[in-house]
Structure 1
Amino acid sequence: MPPLRPWSPIPIADGGEPLDDLPPSLWRLEPHPYQALGAPYGAGASPFRLRRGVIERLERAQERLQQQRPQWRLAIFDAWRPLVVQAFMVRHAFREACRERGLDPDAFGLPQQAVAAEVDRFWAPPSADPATPPPHSTGAAVDLTLAEASGRPLAMGGAIDAIGALSEPDHYAGAAPGSEAADWHERRRLLAAVMEASGFAQHPNEWWHFSHGDQLWAWRRGEPRALYGAAAGAVAGAAEGAG
């Protein structure tokens, strides 16, 4: 069993705020990457949904961004994620990481255990326990990047979901001034700044992951409780997907 996160003990007081579809003002990166892999969202389930209050804060973040960079916009990679999709993607990430290292993902040796531990730094376990929901199952977490006005994503020095040190928000902090890596660091810092000013907290290992109202947010902001637990529909199919 993966270790609990430091935010797992934080209590949740969910007021039942609904999930809403992202508005047209927020750019979606489509086709959605997990749907393209065959992730089992089920009929009518959209990954481009978030809690209403989270969407409002995203819109504020985009306004702040465009006050500084009128030619840029936020681009949404992923948002709400049912547990069955979380389970599917954890397995996929592990198997891909093993293949990249020339390992058999169906073996159970020490190298595979090391890969599993590394994947666990980036992918939350698909817990159906209402006290420990994965962040994306709450409708409070979003994966996003910066894009040009046309919607073309800007280079950020590493792909969303990449497993490794280059995904840490400050990985390029020591880059030489004027270098491409320095540009990547500046873009990451700008994204973090507009999101944090709008009430979000950043995942400590992922430059692209921000949330408002979940346990991770409460832990990073020193809040006594989380505002959102697993959203309605998030647990559907969990049992079949968690094997």
Structure 2
Amino acid sequence: MGQKPYTCVPIHECGEPLAPIPEGIVRLSPHPYQQVGAPYGNASPFWLRVGVITALEAAQASLMSYGWRLAIFDAYRPVAVQQFMVEHTFRELCTQRDLNPQQIDGSLATTLWEQVYLFWAIPSQDPQQPPPHSTGAAVDLTLVDETGTLLDMGGAIDELSERSYPDFYDRHPHLAHAKNIAERRQRLNQAMTNAGFQRHPNEWWHFSLGDQLWAWQTQQQTGQSDIVARYGRIDFA
């Protein structure tokens, strides 16, 4: 697969450490990737860079007027976990289509991998092209109400379908509950972007701050080509 366009953005690593996401922000448990055997080792999927956590707390504070809170699905992800989950997703996609992943090749395999990489970052070992989650600057999240009940966001996190695109329900207002779902997605995005995050173009749930994807999106929006990433790959042994 070709590299993502944001991986050409320079990284000027600031050296900020990872830290646990505070208990005041909901963590979805059990963690979905750990459940299927993703190799985290001693790392935690509920870590982020310190500055990203500060912004996350600001975003949550702005949602309190709706009676909503953030709920973390996944945050820090070692490259080994990214590799594991990309392969797992490919196998799941094959299973859904009654295909044997060991017997697929040629154009069909290419088509399936292209679908996977619409939503998943390439698990590159190149320190100049890290997957966003491997920098500790990206987070996958959703919303819960004041009782801790998950809100309907119109599609599951990691779903490989058009429903994952942030504006899907804006473009399909005839669907059931489309107005409410679109409004929740918009309010989540507003809270996160006001706190400094950028939302992934293909995923309503993925936000980042300070990584290459964030820098590239900010460049596109502002026309400032000198914006760089401040968070590169961070390894935890």
Deviation at 1:31, TM superposition (A): 0.5
Q: Could you give the per-residue CA deviations for residues 84-112 of structure 1, whole angstroms, max 9, x where no partner exists?
A: 11010000001101111222211214222
2-structure distance, mates of 1:151, 1:126: 33
Paired amino acid for 1:100: Q
1-structure distance, mates of 2:227, 2:170: 31
> Would you say 1:218 and 2:221 are equivalent positions?
no
Residue 64 of structure 2: aligned partner: 66
Residue 164 of structure 1: aligned partner: 161
SS in 1 for 2:54: helix
Structure-1-length-normalised TM-score: 0.91
**Mean CA deviation greater in 2-11 or 109-118:** 109-118
SS in 2 for 1:77: strand
SS in 1 for 2:77: coil
2-structure distance, mates of 1:231, 1:225: 17
Structure with a larger share of its residues in helix? 2
CA contact (8 A) 2:169 2:175 kept: no
1-structure distance, mates of 2:86, 2:173: 35
User: Matches of residues 1-243 of structure 1 in structure 2 within 5 Å?
Assistant: 2-42=1-41, 44-67=42-65, 69=66, 71-106=67-102, 107-176=104-173, 179-222=176-219, 224-233=227-236
Deviation at 1:224, TM superposition (A): 1.8
2-structure distance, mates of 1:87, 1:175: 34
**Structure 1: runs of 5+ lacking an equivalent:** 237-243
1-structure distance, mates of 2:4, 2:153: 27
1-structure distance, mates of 2:116, 2:175: 33
Q: Following TM superposition, where does structure 1 have runs of at least 4 consecutive aligned residues deviating by more than 4 angstroms?
A: none
Structure-2-length-normalised TM-score: 0.93
Q: How many residues align?
A: 230
SS in 1 for 2:185: helix
Deviation at 1:178, TM superposition (A): 9.6
CA contact (8 A) 1:19 1:52 kept: yes
SS in 1 for 2:101: coil
Deviation at 1:195, TM superposition (A): 0.3
Q: CA RMSD in A?
A: 1.4
Alignment CA distance shift 1:110-1:177 (3 Å): closer
Identity %: 52
Q: Could you give the per-residue CA deviations for residues 102-128 of structure 1, whole angstroms, max 9, x where no partner exists?
A: 222112142222111010111111111
